[in-house]
Every structure is written in structure tokens, then in C-alpha cells.
Amino acid sequence: MGVMTAQDETSRAAILTVDDDPAVSRAVARDLRRQYGGRYRIVRAESAREGLDALLQMKLRGDVVAVILADYRMPELNGIEFLEQAMDIYPGARRVLLTAYADTGAAIDAINVVDLDHYLLKPWDPPEEKLYPVVDALLDAWLDSDHRPVPETKIVGHRWSARSSEVREFLARNQVPYRWYSTEEEEGQRLLAAAGADGLTLPVVITPDGEPLVEPTDAELAARVGLATTPSQDFYDLIVVGGGPAGLGAAVYGASEGLRTVLVERLATGGQAGQSSRIENYLGFPDGVSGAQLTDRARRQAAKFGAEVLTTREVVGLEVCGSARRVRFADGTFIDAHTVILATGVSYRRLGAPGLDDLTGRGCYYGSALTEAMACAGQDVYVVGGANSAGQAAVYLARYAKSVTILVRGSSLEKSMSYYLIRQIADIPNISIRTCTEVTEVCGEDHLEMLTLRNTATGDTEIVNAQLLFLFIGAQPLTDWLDGVVVRDRMGFVVAGPDLSPDGERPRGWDLDRMPYHLETSVPGVFVAGDARSESAKRVASAVGEGALAVMLVHRYLEKT
């Protein structure tokens, strides 16, 4: 017989009993269940090995164990050796050794060796007198300490492991709750041991079911934490590429108006807005709203109307196949639809300073101010950029950091940042601004330690100590995959509607007897919305609005074809 657990009981703390004599084992479990079964999960094992396996499984699942009772005389490991190993897994659990009278000497010795809480002489009849008072006292003591179950995903990583910080960012942006454990903490070490991982390859992600994943890819993570990654159909009315505000807007309107809609996002929904700590100018949110909240609501709204949302799927090709529009994924597979809305937004430009690539994710971060904010406590933080995104990040980080220095290449913030934000920053004492300054080198052993700053007016350089650097240095559309398919402007933004025919002439290659609709690209039935569009407003509200408008034009296109 094996270890007994029940799925629906996982939220309750466990009492584990281990005895190699099946009759005794059953008797202990029966007595315990009778008294404690309503409040605790009674787990029974018939060997030390089985008991340890049960503890490891429970550790990975994030369950808590209140009391462990082990028989002294067992083959393989005796009760004391077993409890010693159990302590490594659950140091907070109270420990009881079950002994026969002849073994009391060993039990007394064990009090010192394994910090035993109690020993019980067998038989303990009647349990009301001999067993329950002991277990009651141990449970009271255990309840006084703080041991709560951790049912969510657990990440064991290191602060300066680039992939650890990417995984946190990925889960946070997909609204997947997780608990972070550093490898420097004892609990982190215990989880690594339970997962059988050496800690050299990080992070180790443990799913809520207790399955350990060593340095998983985004796609593996998405699949294991319940995010959809594969389309359910091969033909749709509408494919939306990109899951930022424009794409989510299009998915909500498309699905709510009865179009079979699928949204494909290469990373996590939310786009740039998902990284904003506070959007203050979005209609209907007078006190501001975080990008994560806005994304979570939009995503739920899209799902409610029946839109499919695929994450971690990058689109690498768009093809015209007769009246169908084909969207190809990086793995070569594809889906078709009557229409496509391109909502791929823009991505951060990279800074070319020597040393930066190596330290990205190890103290240097592009845009991800939110998940790293806690790490800023008491630190000197630098933010590069002069636009609103940099300003918002500085305001947010200043709540935690000792100091925040905004580094701006230009001579003032006025040209690039909104007036309200400049005023807000001026009122925060631990934010300072260095204009005419650029980062020319980034140094550090295994994480950021120093920055070289250059004054662009005088050419003087200065080396400063820095633990954290956040970069918000503008963005570019990643639209190379559309080359030769749709018309793009000099910078790579997708040209649409009247902008395709500034002279009023029909665009080249356009063979319909109507002109392109407002957000329609040079390929009929393919539309663009949001920041990816040439001459777009680069605002959340306009991106959402364009997503909705594009759906209206999709309807018009479908009616006429």
C-alpha cells in the first residue's frame, strides 16, 4: 500500500505517520483521522523511503506539514535517521518518535540528535489519554508559528541570473501568481533539493502540481501554467497579431461582434502598456491604472466574448493565399483567416554601450521596472531616457530606492516628457536629473557595479557606482518580417489608408476598384492598429480606439468580398 493523499485535501496541513508494520501504521492513521481528520490531512507511509518521497512531493506542491510521527525500528532508515532527513525538508514540522519500551534509551538520545519534540510509547491506548494530548500540544505549538501553504507557482532563482528575472517578468505579465525564492534562502535550497536540482542551472520553476522545470523556455512555461499556445482551429474570421492595447482592443470588439477571432502574442499580453506602472491619461481612470490591471481586465473581457488568446507564439510571416490571409509561426506552422489586424506595436531600442549585453538581466533592465522594484530598496538606481515611460518608472522606483537618477541625453526634459510628470518628479526629493548625459560603459563582475557617464556637452566622463539601471530609450517597430508584403515607411512602420496614396492615386499593386479603407494596409483585408502604424499617436487610448475601428473596417471588408 502506498502513501494516501486526496487532491481535494491539499489545502489542509498534513500530519504524516510512518511505520513499517502495516497494522500499526493503519491503527495510528485511524486514531489520528478520527480526532484530526476534519482539520488535517492524514498521510500514511509504510517505509522511511515512502515517507520521504511523500514529503518531497508535498514540498514541491507547496503543502504544509504540521506533525511527523515515525516509528523507531524500521529497516533502511530508523525513525531517528528518517526524522533527521525529514527536518531538512520541513524544518518547522513537529517531530514524534514512536518507540517500544525497550527503545526508550534511543528515544531519549534522539531528543538531542534530531531535536525531537516528543516520543510516544507503543501501544498508546487509549489515544484520548496518551496520543491526543501530545499531538494537541504539538499542533498548538505549530499553529503559533507561521507556516502557510504555497499553492501557486514557485520560482527558485538568483537575483543576478538573467533568465530568473525574465521568468518572473513573463509570469507577472501573464498575471500568473508566483512565489519567488532566492537560492540564498534556506527554503530556496530545500525546494532545489526536493526538485533534485543542483542549483547550477537557474531558475527552477515548480508548477502548482509540484512539477519542477529547470530553466524552462517561455513556451514551456506558458503550456505548464495554463496559458494557451496552440490554435484550436485552422481557419478564423480574424487573426490579430500582437497582444498590446491595440490587439486586445481588436480581440474584444472582434469576438464581441461575432467574429471567430484569435489573438497571437509572441510574449505576454499587455505590450508596452503592460509594463507601465501607472497610466494616468486613459479615459475613465481618474486615479490612474497600472498597465498590468488594464491588461488583466482586457484579457478577461476578450476571453469572455470567446476570443482565443495564444501567448509565446511569434508570427514570422504573412502570406496572401487567394482570398485567405495566412499567418506563419516561427515553427513553420500557420493559420489562415479572412482578415488580419497587425497590432505589433514597437519594441525597445537597445543601447550599444560596451558591457551592457552581458549584464542585461543582472542589474540592467530594458523597461521592466515593476518586477525589479523591490530589489531597489536602499539602492542607487539609474534610469536612462527622457520620455514619459522613463519618468513614470523613476517616480515608481523612487518609492523604494535610496536615490533615482534620470539620465537624459538632451539638454532638458521639456521636449520629451509630459508637463504633469515633470512637475511630479520635481516634487520627489530622491529623484535627480542629469541632462546632457549618456551611458558609455557598463561594468560589473556578475552583476552591475559601475557605469561610465559622459557629458555630451563637455565630453567629460565620470564613473559612478550603480546597482540597478533601467533603460527606456525609445522604440522601433519590429516589422522586418513584413518586408515585401505590406508597404512600410522609412522607419519600418506600416503605412495604411490615405497615407498609401498621398497623391490621391491608387496605391501600386492595388487592384480593387475602391481605395484602401482608413486602417487598411497595401494588402486588402490586412489592417494595422496602434503604435505599429505609420504616424500613429503612440498612446494607449488611441491604440485601443484603432483596434476597435479596425474591427469595424473588417466587417466592411467582409461584407464587400
User: Does residue 360 interact with ligand FAD by CB under 6 A?
Assistant: no
Q: Determine the Cα–Cα distance for residues 106 and 127; give it in Å rounded to an integer.
A: 23
Q: Smallest distance, Å, CB 330 to ligand FAD? A: 9
Query: Which are the contacts of 236, defined by CB distance < 8 A and separation ≥ 6?
Result: 259, 260, 261, 262, 335, 336, 337, 338
Instruction: State the SS3 of 11-51.
Output: CCCEEEEECCCHHHHHHHHHHHHHHHCCCCEEEEECCHHHH
Contact by Cβ (8 Å): 107, 157? no
- Verify binding: residue 371, ligand FAD, rule CB under 6 A: no
345 binds ligand FAD (CB under 6 A): yes
Instruction: Name the residue nearer to ligand FAD (CB basis): 45 or 318.
Output: 318
Tell me how far apart the alpha carbons of residues 48 and 85 are, in angstroms, rounded to a whole number. Answer: 10
- Span interacting with ligand FAD, options 47-55, 204-212, 226-234, 268-276, rule CB under 6 A: 268-276
Distance (Å, rounded) from C-alpha 202 to C-alpha 156?
Answer: 7
Binding range to ligand FAD, per CB under 6 A, among 53-61, 130-138, 270-278, 396-404: 270-278
- Closest Cα partner for 468 from 541, 540, 556, 402? 402
| Three-class DSSP labels, 85-151 | HHHHHCCCCEEEEEECHHHHHHHHHHHHHCCCCEEEECCCCCHHHHCHHHHHHHHHHHHHCCCCCCC
3-state class of 450 per DSSP? Answer: strand
Question: How many residues lie near ligand FAD (CB under 6 A)?
Answer: 38
CB of 71 to ligand FAD, least distance (A): 57
Q: Applying CB under 6 A, does 341 fall inside the site for ligand FAD? A: no
The β-bridge relationship of strands 235-241 and 261-264 is parallel
Residue 450 is placed in which grid cell?
Answer: 559601475
- 488 contributes a contact to ligand FAD by CB under 6 A: no
Say if residues 469 and 382 touch (Cβ distance below 8 Å). Answer: yes
**Judged by CB under 6 A, does residue 406 bind ligand FAD?**
no
Among 17, 99, 388, 534, binds ligand FAD (CB under 6 A): 388
Nearer to ligand FAD, 9 or 220 (CB): 220
Answer yes or no whether residue 425 interacts with ligand FAD by CB under 6 A: no
* Residue 218 in contact with ligand FAD, rule: CB under 6 A: no
Q: Does 263 bind ligand FAD (CB under 6 A)?
A: no
DSSP string, 300-318: HHHHHTT-EEE-S--EEEE
- Report the nearest approach of ligand FAD to the CB of residue 246 (Å): 3
Give backbone dihedrals phi and psi of 460, rounded to 5 degrees, phi first. -65, 145
The interface mask with ligand FAD, positions 302-321, x = CB under 6 A, is: ------------xx------
Does 349 bind ligand FAD (CB under 6 A)? Our answer is: no
Q: Which is nearer to ligand FAD, 125 or 535 (CB)?
A: 535
Interface with ligand FAD, residue 271, by CB under 6 A: yes
Residue in 68, 93, 346, 466 binding ligand FAD, rule: CB under 6 A: 346
What is the torsional sign of CA 408, 413, 416, 420? positive
Residue from the set 164, 165, 261, 275 that interacts with ligand FAD by CB under 6 A: 275
Among 199, 355, 525, 530, interactor with ligand FAD by CB under 6 A:
530
User: Where does this chain bind ligand FAD (CB under 6 A)?
Assistant: 241-247, 264-267, 271-273, 275-276, 279-281, 314-315, 343-346, 367, 388-389, 392, 478, 530-532, 538-541, 543
